Amino acid sequence: MLNQSYEALTICTLRRALVLILLSKADTVVKDEERKIKTVNRSFDFPVVIRLKKFIHIPYKQVVLSRKNVLKRDSFKCGYCGRSDIPLTIDHIVPKAKGGKDTWDNLVTACTKCNNKKGDRTPQEAELKLLIKPTVPNHIFFIKNSVNKIDLRWKPYLFIDN
């Protein structure tokens, strides 16, 4: 479900999507070309992406800063080398010893190899380059994590590429 601004809001059930469309509160943005919803005397498009007609303000839940959520945010890949086949840990980009904080933008997933190489140094000092820009996850994080498989047709609205 997209907001009027096309921003992804949540995943809703088909039933809810149909109710919103029938009440003229939402429009279908992407429909399933191969399926139709049939009633006794009517046939409706099968909605895949819907958009609310009125903009709604939603205070988004904050994602709890935890080891598990940092790993999830980084798709269980080392932020320095991209590997996911060796044990992963959480790295303080600016080391704690140098005043680095426990914040979303200072924590990144790192493989044990890169983490050992880096030690108590900054990435520059250790000549390591971050492949990703660690940021605070937004509500799209919840959407990505609330379903096992993202419908390919949702991707353009979720700004994800994996």
- Residues within the interface to Zn ion (CB under 5 A): 78, 80-81, 111, 114
Task: Determine how many CB atoms are found less than 10 A away from the CB of residue 102.
Answer: 10
Distance CA(61)–CA(140), nearest Å, equals: 11
The pair of structure tokens assigned to 100 is 């680095």
Angle at 39 between CA 37 and CA 41, to 5 degrees: 125
By C-beta, is 72 or 113 nearer to Zn ion? Answer: 113
Question: Cβ of residue 129: shortest distance to Zn ion, in angstroms?
Answer: 11
Q: Which residues contact 127 (CB under 8 A, 6 or more apart)?
A: none
Q: Judged by CB, which is closer to Zn ion: 89, or 138? A: 89
Nearer to Zn ion among residue 16 and residue 113 (C-beta): 113
Residue closer to Zn ion, measured from CB, 78 or 143? 78
- Dihedral, 148, 142, 85, 119 alpha carbons, nearest 10: -170
Q: Which is nearer to Zn ion, 22 or 131 (CB)?
A: 131
* DSSP state string for 119-162: TTS-TTTTT---SS------HHHHHHHHSSS--GGGHHHHT---
